[in-house]
């Protein structure tokens, strides 16, 4: 068995539940690729959290990110036309987890420069890619005849907030001060 099929050599790809092929430059394939990139970056973060054995809200931080990775695969499947989608319970979990993390931290009074710690810098990178992925999913939803559920869009919207909360709590747990920009 080989890892390649040669079917995409012409610049097209196939999706679940669609008989034809679409351009690899379409909004759907861009969204799928961006979600894949996000999942890979979250995988790096998860591995780094495992090394630190960091606990957030009585859970291993890496386990929280593992759940997010599973959810991202569901979103990718939905975008590709599979009969799968994020349910309201997962959206609620994301919001509740973010809220509970934020309750343990000092209120935000400023933006912060990424990079207060290596681990938080990687999570901040994941946060920015999640925002790009959200925009790509919205563009794909606008382009395609595949119905993207409202819960999927809500999940994509809230994911960057969870990641930002994880950035802040990571720095807090590491005892690292965050630096506000000076706007020089």
Tell me the two tokens of residue 140.
Answer: 């794909």
Structural domains of the chain sorted by starting position, each given as residue range(s) with its CATH number in brackets: 24-105+116-174 (1.20.1200.10)
pLDDT given for residue 18 in this prediction: 65
The beta strands (E) that lie in 51-183 are given as 55-56, 59-60
β-partners of residue 59 are 56
Q: What is the pLDDT along the chain (184 residues), one digit of tens a residue?
A: 777 776 666 676 667 766 676 656 688 889 999 999 999 999 999 999 999 999 999 999 999 999 999 999 999 999 988 889 999 999 999 999 999 999 999 999 899 999 999 999 999 999 999 999 999 999 999 876 678 999 999 999 999 999 999 999 999 999 999 999 999 9
User: Which letter does DSSP use for residue 161 in this model?
Assistant: H
Residues with Cβ within 8 Å of 85's Cβ and at least 6 positions away in sequence, in order, are: 74, 75, 78, 149, 151, 152
Sort 3 into a burial class: Cβ within 10 Å, 0-12 / 13-18 / 19+: exposed
Containing 22, the helix (H) or strand (E) segment is strand 21-23
The pLDDT of residue 12:
60
């Amino acid at each position: 068995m080989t890892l390649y099929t040669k079917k995409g050599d012409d610049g097209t790809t196939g999706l679940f539940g669609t008989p034809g092929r679409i351009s690899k430059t379409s909004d759907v394939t861009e969204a799928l690729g961006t979600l894949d990139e996000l999942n890979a970056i979250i995988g790096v973060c998860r591995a780094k959290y495992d090394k630190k054995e960091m606990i957030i809200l009585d859970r291993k931080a890496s386990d929280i990110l593992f759940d997010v990775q599973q959810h991202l695969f569901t979103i990718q499947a939905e975008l590709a036309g599979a009969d799968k989608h994020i349910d309201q319970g997962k959206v609620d979990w994301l919001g509740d987890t973010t809220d509970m993390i934020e309750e343990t931290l000092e209120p935000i009074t400023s933006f912060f420069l990424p990079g207060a710690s290596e681990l938080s810098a990687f999570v901040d990178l994941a946060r920015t890619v999640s925002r790009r992925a959200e925009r790509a999913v919205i563009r794909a939803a606008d382009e395609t005849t595949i119905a993207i559920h409202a819960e999927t869009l809500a999940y994509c919207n809230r994911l960057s907030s969870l990641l930002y909360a994880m950035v802040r709590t990571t720095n807090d747990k590491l005892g690292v001060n965050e630096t506000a920009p000076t706007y020089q």
